[in-house]
Chain A
C-alpha cells in the first residue's frame, strides 16, 4: 500500500519539476517561477544558458528517477523479486563516469563564451560609479558631474502594516538611476562600509560592492523602461530595504534629465547662501533625518541600545555645537557612523543638526546655518 503512496508522491514531485519547465510556456506564471528573462543581450544569453543547463538536468534527472522508480515498483520482495548477485562491473562504471563528463563539457562551452561576454567591460560609452552605503546607493556620473543618493521611499506605515501596501512596495526610491538607451554603460561598483551587491535582475548580473576596491559590470539597453532590483549581499540591519530603481530613457529624454539635474544643483547652491529660520531648518531637518539617519538612530531618536546610540539626550547632540557638527560631517572612523559631510549639502547638514538639537526630545535651543557648515568644511 505505501508503495502506491510512494509512487503517487514521486509522481507529484515529478509533476512539480515538469511544471517548472512548462511554466515557461505560461507567460503569466513565468514571472514568478522562472528566471527573469531580462532586457539586454547578455541577460538573454544568461537566460538561454540557464534553460539549457536546466533541461540537461531535467533529462538526466528523468533518466535516473525512471530507473529508480522502475526498480522500486518491480524489484520488490512483495512482488516476488529475488535478489540478483551482481555487484560490480568495470565497463558500466567507466561508461557512467564518462557520459556525465561529456555532458559537462557540452555545458562548459556556452558557459565560457557567455562568461567572457559578461565580463567584457571594454569600450564603454559612459561610466557611472555606484557606491553602496548602509543602506542606500550613491550614483556618480563620472562624465557629467552629477551625483546623488538613492533611498527607499516606502513609508514605515506600509512596512508595519498600518497602511495598505502599494504596488512597488519595497522597490521604490527617491532618486532612481537614469541611463540612456543604446549606449554601453560601465558601472564601477564599490562600497563605503560593508559589502553590498548591486543587482538589477533585468540586466542579467549582479556585482558585489567591496569597500576599497572597484568591481565593474556593464549593460546596453535597447528599450526605455523602469527596472527594479535589490541589494543582494547581507549588509546589516536594513539589507532588505535598499532597492535599486533603474530608468532607461531615450537619448533626448536622458539629455533633458541631465540638464534638469544640473539646474537642481544650482538651486541648492543658492539656498546655501541664505540665512534660514529655526523653524524652516527644523522642518527640513526632519525629512533629512528620516531619510538619512532614522535607519540607525530610529525615527524617535531612541537608537538601538548597544548598536546605535540614542540621539535623544545624547551628550553630543545636546552639548557643544562644534562636536555635533564634527561627528555628523566627519563620522566616526571604525563605526557605522558615516561622514555625512560628503553626502549631504550645507543646507541639509545645517537642517539635520538643528533638528537633532531641538527635536526628538532634545532642546539645546541653538541652531547652525548653512554658511557655518560651509565654513567648517
Chain B
C-alpha cells in the first residue's frame, strides 16, 4: 500500500500497458486522457461541421437530406461543447492545477478517474443515436421543447441519458477541483498568490456545480414529458414550452462562461510569460472573473428576447446583459496593459494568445450588440449569432486551448514542438477562421436564419467563401494533429524552465514533469 511517505519504494514511474490508463489515479495520466478525448471529439465534431459547410457551399440540397442536416448541426454543437471544449479544459486543469499549487495530486484521485471514464461511455451513447431508427437528435444543441419532446425521434431518450452522464462527470470533476484548490495548496500558497489559471478554474468549478444539476433537471423533465405523461412543457396541462428555455438557459448561459473563463486563465498565463512582465492588475482580474461568473446567472434570458417575455423582463435582461461588458473590459484592458511596455517575443503560444485577445474582443462586441434587445429582434436565430459564438468559442476558447497546448506541451512531453510548424499552424488557422466566420456576420445581418440546410440566392457568395475558409481551417487542425504526434515522438529537449519569462511552480520541476511531483510540498515565499 502506498502513502506519499512510503511512495519512494513503490512507483517511480508510470505503470505500463492498457490498464495503466484505465485504472490510473494519477492526475497527469488523467489529464492526458482528457486531452486526447477532447482532441478526438474535436475531429469528430469538426467533421460534422465540414458536412454542414459542404451542404451550405451552394444553394440547393446536394450532400445530405434536411433531417440529417439538422442532426449534424445538433451533434456538432453538442460534441464541440461537451466533448471537445469542456473536456480539454478539464484536461488542462488536471495537468496543471496540482503542479501550479504544489500539490502531490488532485484531492480525490479515484473519483478523478471516474470523472474521465464516464465520458467515453457518454460519448458512445450520444454518437450511437446516429445509427438508430429515426436518426439522431435533430433539434439543435439547445433542444427546445416541444420539438425535443413530442416531435423528436426515439433516440432522444438515449440522448437524455448521455447528457445525464456528462453531467455526473462534470459535477465530480468540479468537486475535485474545488477540494484540490481549497485543501491541497502548498504552504504559503495563499489564495491571492494562486496563478490566474487556477483562479479561473476554481470559479468555473462553482459555475459547473451550480448549473450542471439544472441541466440534469431539464433533461429529466423532458424524459418524463416524453414517457410518463407530465406537462412541464405543454400548455394544455398548464405548463409552458418557454419554461424549457428558462431552465435550459439558466444552465446554458453560465455554460458559455464555463468554456471561456479557463480560456481567460490560459491566456493570462501566456501573455505575462512572453511579455516578460507581471500580469497587470492581478487582483482585479480575480474580481472581474468572479463578477462575470456572478452576472452569468442573472442574464440568461437574453437568449429569449423573441419568446414573448413581458417587456419589463426584456428590459431587465438587456441591462444585465450589457453590464457583462464591464468586467470583461477589465480583462481585455489588463491584458493590453500587460503587453504595454513589456519585452515581447512571439513564440507560438503567444501568437495564439494575442490572436485570442483580438478575435475574442470582436466576438464580445457582437455579443454586446445582441444584448441590446430591440436589435436582437432582428439578429436572433440568424448567422449573426453563429458568427458571434464562433468568434468567442472557436476563435476564443479553441484558440486558448491550442495556445495552452503549445505553451505546456514541452512540460508534458519533455520535447519542444517545432516552432516553424507551430507558426504555420497559427497563421493558417488565424486567417482561415476569419474567412470562415467573418462573412457569417454579413449573411446573418442580411437575413439568413441559422439551422437551415438551404438558403435563398442572395446569400450564395458569402456562404461559399465561408465554406472554403471552413475546409481550410479543418485541414489546419489535421496539421495540428501531426505536430502534436511529432512532438511526442521527439524533438529538441526542453529545459525545466522552458520559457525565459515563465514564472510559477510548474516550471521548477523537470521536463517532462516526473510522474509524481511535489510529494513533499514546496515552500512558497
**Chain A residues proximal to chain B, CB less than 8 Å:** 2-3, 5-6, 9-10, 13, 16-17, 20, 31-36, 45-46, 49-50, 53-54, 57, 60-61, 64-65, 67-68, 71-72, 75-78, 81-89, 92-93, 96-97, 100-101, 104, 107-108, 111-112, 114-116, 118-119, 134, 158-161, 165, 167-171, 193-195, 197, 199, 201, 204-208, 210-213, 215-216, 228-241, 304-307, 334-336
Contacts and interface: CB of A to CB of B under 8 A. Distances in A.
B322 A108 contact: yes
B188 interface: no
A194 B146 contact: yes
Contact of A50 (B338, B365, B369): B369
13 contacts: A36-B446, A45-B374, A75-B344, A107-B322, A111-B373, A111-B375, A119-B314, A158-B60, A170-B455, A207-B377, A212-B235, A230-B449, A306-B134
B277 A77 contact: no
A61 B234 contact: no
Contacts of B375: 35, 46, 49-50, 53, 111
Contacts, number: 326
**How large, as a class, is the contact surface on chain B?**
35 or more
Nearest to A229: B447
A68 B372 contact: no
Given A31-B446, A239-B452, A306-B135, A49 B66 contact: no
B480 interface: no
B336 A82 contact: no
B281 A195 contact: no
A85 B343 CA distance: 11
A195 B369 contact: no
Contacts of A160: 60-61
Contacts of B338: 87
A303 to B, nearest CB: 11
B454 A6 contact: no
Contacts of B330: 93, 96-97
Nearest to B288: A97
B323 A71 contact: no
Nearest to A200: B447
Interface in B378-433: 378, 380-382, 423, 427, 430-431
B502 to A, nearest CB: 14
B519 interface: no
A33 B445 CA distance: 7
B123 to A, nearest CB: 23
B446 A34 contact: yes
B453 interface: yes
B342 to A, nearest CB: 5
Given A211-B241, A305-B133, A2 B423 contact: yes
B434 A13 contact: yes
B278 A60 contact: no
A66 B375 CA distance: 28
B431 to A, nearest CB: 6
A34 B447 CA distance: 9
Given A61-B361, A307-B67, A234 B60 contact: no
B373 A206 contact: no
Contact of B325 (A82, A84, A100, A161): A100
B346 interface: yes
Contact of A67 (B340, B362, B438, B450): B340
A213 B365 contact: no
A207 B242 CA distance: 13
A305 B423 CA distance: 49
